[in-house]
A and B are shown apart, each in its own frame.
Chain A
Amino acid sequence: MTSIAMRKPRWRAPSVLPGFGLTFGFSLAWLSLIVLIPLSTLFLKSAGMGWHAFVEVGFSDRAMAAYRLSFGTAAAAALVNAVFGLLVAWTLVRYDFPGKRIVSALVDLPFALPTAVAGIALTSIYAPTGWVGQFLDPLGIKVAFTATGITVALIFIGLPFVVRSVEPVLADLGLDVEEAAATLGANRFQTFFRVIFPAIMPALFTGAALAFARGVGEYGSVIFISGNMPGRTEIAPLLIVTQLEQYAYNGATAIAMIMMLISFAVLFTLNAMQSARRRRLGS
């Protein structure tokens, strides 16, 4: 065993377990083949178009409006999900009620339901002739084909990210701390905001950020309900498709590249934060 460990490259900490070379090598190769090489074509293509052209198409007025819409609606949906996701997670962890198991299973529906199906279903509900739309329309509230509709779709898509991130942390949170706080005279609100909330804050943030990242790129459920008006209800992924369809590969690439960099930054920060927390808790 020792000899195996000795043969391993020195840059990783020694371990008695075998298979690092095989699994790491395979993972890296497969990752490169499926994810990295295809994604790198984006870099190649962007590099080929020159900085000036890249900025011009990547930050055109129309593109900026699309980013604003995509990031704005995704942020709004993440915010709603943070509030209600926390509420759902809280009731699932803390309270007992009939049908709880079904409700718990249902939370994952957006993971399991194809986005296109969600899209046509939401459209049929919120269109002015739809189930809910027919009641909202006379009140002058328009959901389908507006930014509100996009937000509704993104709330649907993002909810499980928040619930599933917060749930385990909430479950692990011992009641003893809360009881201690209560004994010290804190009321329930104080306990929640001073004791519970700080403890679940990182998980809540992670969940909301995942929902946000997913929402920014969401396409299937949004295109049916968005209305697709350039500058008003045209989301960034749709703009990529539109650019592609009018042979503007450079435009499509530049916008895709900008979106990917932002996604990458969000994810990398999250992973770094998580492992920092793990280290802190571990030590």
Chain B
Amino acid sequence: MRQHAPGTESRTTQVVLILLALAFLAFFLVMPLVAVFIEALKQGIEPFLEAVSNPDALAAIRLTLFIAAISVPLNVVFGLAASWAITKFSFPGKNLLLTMIDLPLSVSPVVSGLVFVLLFGAQGLLGPWLSAHGLKIIFAVPGIVLATVFITFPFVARELIPLMMEQGKDDEEAALSLGANGWQTFWHVTLPNIRWGLLYGVLLCNARAMGEFGAVSVVSGHIRGETNTMPLHVEILYNEYDFVGAFAVASLLAALALVTLVLKSVLEWRFDLHSGARH
């Protein structure tokens, strides 16, 4: 029965399985990606450049960058704090806490937008108070930031928690017994250990922050040049029959996704080297 080494398949089976996997990926992942770029450049480079340099598009790009620049650092701080508390200590209710942190991942983005409308909208719980004090959250930049922070909430923590759990706390305990204080331990021992995982989390968090659609769509108000993020701008252009424009802006986002993937692969590679050295 066995013509080949135990634990492996025959070369033919391997090739068939590989081809099957590649075909699946090509069909479901590569084709949409390629479609974006082809549709964007369908009418040549001129309309493409025109679409991405349009003032509304530029405003959308600026807003998207601004939102990522706020929400990513906030989630880094939270991710570090939460994973420290969860992985270095044991306390009851940890599963519940983990689930709470994961919650934004599986709550529909639309629901995440909705809760902020229920809370801060003019008819919401805090709406009248905000309005009386001249504060605007919903249909303004703060609402978009809040929704984005909510959506990307678990990203950094989820990368760090398994990593730090695996690394245990021996290194930190050693550092403490050598006389380092808490911050020194964190800065010189923990952080170097987790830096690649942290970067990885930041990358995913950033990609999602820039690309979020559902939640942001509910709280944005869609004012051109002001509260339109890039994904919302894509939708608007799409609805204006400006398909080249829509796909042009979409292709910027797709390019961003590709950059994220490349960086991520580089990180993975370094991370493998690093953890390989550790073991």
Contacts and interface: CB of A to CB of B under 8 A. Distances in A.
Interface of A: 1, 11-13, 15-20, 22-24, 26-28, 30-31, 34-39, 41-42, 44-45, 84, 87-88, 90-92, 94-95, 97, 101, 103-118, 120-122, 124-125, 131-132, 152, 155-156, 159, 175, 178-179, 182-183, 187-188, 191, 210, 213-214, 216-220, 224, 236-238, 240-241, 244, 249, 252-253, 256, 259-260, 263-264, 266-268, 271-272, 275
Nearest to B121: A249
B70 interface: no
B115 A111 contact: no
Interface stretch (B15-23, B43-51, B191-199): B15-23
A183 B92 CA distance: 46
Given A12-B92, A23-B84, A114-B211, A131 B24 contact: no
Contacts of B91: 11-13, 24
A19 B207 contact: no
Given A38-B112, A267-B102, 18 more contacts: A13-B90, A15-B89, A17-B88, A27-B82, A27-B97, A117-B36, A118-B32, A175-B7, A187-B2, A213-B105, A214-B105, A216-B108, A220-B213, A237-B109, A237-B214, A264-B106, A267-B99, A271-B95
Interface string B187-216: 000000000000000001001101111100
B169 A17 contact: yes
B25 A88 contact: yes
A39 to B, nearest CB: 6
Contacts, number: 309
B110 interface: yes
Which of B22, B89, B212, B238 has the most chain A CB atoms inside 10 A of its CB? Answer: B89
B213 A263 contact: no
Interface string B258-279: 1011101100000000000000
Nearest to A220: B213
Interface of B: 1-2, 6-9, 14, 17-18, 20-22, 24-25, 28-33, 35-36, 39, 77-78, 80-82, 84-86, 88-92, 94-112, 114-119, 123-125, 146, 149-150, 153, 169, 172-173, 176-177, 181-182, 185-186, 204, 207-208, 210-214, 217-218, 230-232, 234-235, 238, 246-247, 250, 253-254, 256-258, 260-262, 264-265
B101 A220 contact: no
Contact of B6 (A15, A94, A178, A219): A178
**Chain A, interface SS category:** helix
Given A23-B85, A111-B207, A183-B6, A38 B101 contact: no
Nearest to A130: B35
Given A39-B115, A115-B214, A11 B92 contact: yes
27 contacts: A17-B182, A20-B85, A26-B78, A34-B153, A35-B104, A87-B21, A95-B14, A105-B261, A109-B257, A109-B261, A112-B260, A114-B211, A116-B250, A117-B257, A121-B36, A125-B32, A188-B9, A213-B105, A217-B106, A217-B111, A240-B108, A252-B114, A256-B110, A256-B115, A260-B108, A266-B106, A268-B96
